[in-house]
Structure 1
Amino acid sequence: MVDEVEFTSYYGRPIIKPPVWKTPDVPLYLFLGGAAGSSAVLGALAEGTRRPALARVAHLTAGGGALASVAFLIHDLGRPSRFLNMLRVLKTTSPLSVGSWILAPFSALTTATAGAHLLGRFPLLRRFTGAGAAVLGGPMTTYTAALLADTAVPSWHEAHRELPVVFAGSAMAAGGGITTALTPLDEAGPARRVAAMGAAIELAAMHRVEHGHGLVSEPYRTGRAGKLLKTARACTATGAGLTLLAGRSRTAAAVSGALLAVGSVLTRFGVFDAGMASAKDPRYTVEPQRARARASEAAASRAAAGSRRGS
């Protein structure tokens, strides 16, 4: 009998180098940027449909979220000059470089839009900067998922198709939920619909991430990440259900918005923790590599057998 294989590495070190990103800085950066992006889109839609209260709340949420997101990113980097250095060159093959060039102008535009709302002046400038922020709002919700998936971290890289969808849905749920909670009921209809749609997208895509990639999906269901994502799923589903009552009750709107925001935060923390766990355990690197090698050998054998039969 052969003993069960124990997956270890040289001196117990990980096979790949885990990212040096910090907690809670990076998960909060992921959450705040996404919520700001969806809020910016909501704000522009509200401006176009003459919902001033919703537009104000959405634009203030976008501006505050963008600035906080930049602050957490800079804190993770260690000093502001490192963020500025990322803007010296636009490298289209690097998600980090492209993301920096999305985040910087988006933050400037949302801050200008929020400032115009607070001052109660410059309506034309506010509409112009708000429209510009909305154009960048969509990429803001998804570029951080590409940033994670472009690494060698197994549980992030294998889910590269689903993670942008998860982050986009989560951002919609968070932005829609926050603006639903803070906007008068008669103007919050679009925010409620965006929140409910985002929650449904997030739940469906996250189920695929948690169950659709064999072994590397396991970190999403176990350990600290599994607990965080299970709680996130409960908050998001409950918050989405309460949006059905949020049009008639201020209390339901507030509770729904809070649950959706909390669910979005926990999703980011859970995804982050799952990736870090998969990077630290050699099993999640070794077993998929061996499975791919076996599949490649089997395909080559079938091709060779077919060639012999043909000849």
Structure 2
Amino acid sequence: MVPKAQFRSYYGRPIVRPAPWTHDIAAYLFTGGLAAGSSLLAAGGQLTRRPKLRRAGRVTALGALAASGYFLVADLGRPERFHHMLRVAKPTSPMSMGTWILTAFGAAAGAAAVAEAASLVPSRLVRRVLPPIGAAAGLGAAVVAPALATYTAVLLSDTATPSWHVAYPELPFVFAGSALASGAGIGLIADPAPPTRRMAVLGAALELYGAHRIETTKGLLSEPYATGRAGKLLKAGRTLTAAGVVGAVLGRRSRVVSALSGLSLLTASAMTRFGIYEGGMASARDPKYTVLPQRERLTEPADGQ
């Protein structure tokens, strides 16, 4: 009897080429989600007449957007490459759509932040004209925010990277929840109002649900998310998310506890994004995550007969 062959690739080399991205993209995933979540926080503060939430959300959204632009351009290598992507609009390309989403969101979030600064200008005309423009721009940014928060999930899962591709149903939940949780984190620091706590609970629930599905239902392809650097980051992110939600709910009478809960949610969001990034890159570097799942899929029809 010939023993069953053990898996190995050609000289142990990867079969799928890892994405040519650096950790700038992982940081971009976080800051983009923070910008989206903060704009939703600002819109909520605007609609419920909570100026502290509105102001904190608008300022954070603009700051996170500026950071996103820096990280994206740093990865692209040359600033004009971003401009060149605006020459076409290709609905089947997540990167093309993401460029337009980021541009539309940036225009709205920037206008809202400028209008927020109008309160510091002594001119009556400025104070009369800019706030209505800021209100419309703030709501416009909130409309685009869900697309900004989730398009990066589509971008990752549209690649051939095994552990990203297989998680396409859950990644949007993880990224949307992470964006909401990070926005709520800013709100808990600025003004821990009841809507902010509800936003934190909803965001954490979506994030933890999606991450749990990715880490437990993908067979061998869940392994990169549970081991190595990715496993440590995601585990720490889950712990901090849970701690942040508990603090937000139980510490409603303490500004210190609420602020610490907000910092916990912000840190957890960053760790989750970096963990997802690391898990996908690890699955591309190891050829077994490409070949073994393919072999399993080939044997599934025979097993069912």
TM over 0.5: yes
Q: Which amino acid is the alignment partner of residue 263 of structure 1?
A: A
Query: Is structure 2 residue 167 aligned with structure 1 residue 162?
Result: no
Q: How does 1:204-283 map to 2 (within 5 A)?
A: 204-283=209-288
- Counterpart Cα distance in 2 of 1:247 and 1:64: 27
- Counterpart Cα distance in 1 of 2:141 and 2:2: 60
Query: Is structure 2 residue 159 aligned with structure 1 residue 131?
Result: no
Q: How does 1:120-199 map to 2 (within 5 A)?
A: 120=119, 121=127, 122-183=130-191, 185=192, 188-199=193-204
- Aligned-pair CA distance for 1:11: 3.4
- Counterpart Cα distance in 2 of 1:84 and 1:278: 32
Distance 1:3 1:282, change over 3 A: farther
Contact 1:176–1:257 (Cα < 8 Å) also in 2 = yes
- Counterpart Cα distance in 2 of 1:135 and 1:244: 27
Q: Which amino acid is the alignment partner of residue 103 of structure 2?
A: A
Distance 1:47 1:154, change over 3 A: same
The DSSP-based 3-state class of the residue aligned with 2:87 is coil
- Counterpart Cα distance in 2 of 1:86 and 1:252: 44
Percent of aligned pairs sharing the same letter: 52
- Aligned-pair CA distance for 1:3: 5.4
Contact 2:30–2:273 (Cα < 8 Å) also in 1 = yes
- Counterpart Cα distance in 1 of 2:68 and 2:3: 49
- Counterpart Cα distance in 1 of 2:50 and 2:2: 70
Contact 2:40–2:183 (Cα < 8 Å) also in 1 = no
Distance 1:52 1:289, change over 3 A: same
Q: How does 1:17-32 map to 2 (within 5 A)?
A: 17-23=17-23, 25-32=24-31
Contact 1:235–1:260 (Cα < 8 Å) also in 2 = yes
Normalising by structure 1, we get a TM-score of 0.91
Distance 1:263 1:124, change over 3 A: same
**More displaced, 111-120 or 145-154?**
111-120
Q: Which amino acid is the alignment partner of residue 213 of structure 2?
A: R
Q: Which amino acid is the alignment partner of residue 15 of structure 1?
A: I
Equivalent pairs counted in the alignment come to 296
Counterpart of 2:122 in structure 1 is none
The DSSP-based 3-state class of the residue aligned with 1:66 is helix
- Aligned-pair CA distance for 1:194: 0.3
Counterpart of 2:123 in structure 1 is none
> CA-atom RMSD, angstroms?
1.5
- Counterpart Cα distance in 2 of 1:260 and 1:31: 12
- Aligned-pair CA distance for 1:5: 4.6
Alignment gaps of 5+ in structure 1: 303-311
Q: Which amino acid is the alignment partner of residue 170 of structure 1?
A: S
Query: Is structure 2 residue 36 aligned with structure 1 residue 37?
Result: yes
- Aligned-pair CA distance for 1:218: 0.4
The DSSP-based 3-state class of the residue aligned with 1:159 is coil
Distance 1:297 1:133, change over 3 A: same
- Counterpart Cα distance in 2 of 1:2 and 1:30: 49
- Counterpart Cα distance in 2 of 1:3 and 1:70: 55
- Counterpart Cα distance in 1 of 2:2 and 2:234: 37
Counterpart of 2:124 in structure 1 is none
- Aligned-pair CA distance for 1:13: 2.1
- Aligned-pair CA distance for 1:45: 2.0
- Counterpart Cα distance in 2 of 1:4 and 1:155: 26
- Aligned-pair CA distance for 1:287: 0.6
Query: Is structure 2 residue 102 aligned with structure 1 residue 96?
Result: no
**More displaced, 98-107 or 4-13?**
4-13
- Aligned-pair CA distance for 1:251: 0.4
Distance 1:66 1:3, change over 3 A: farther
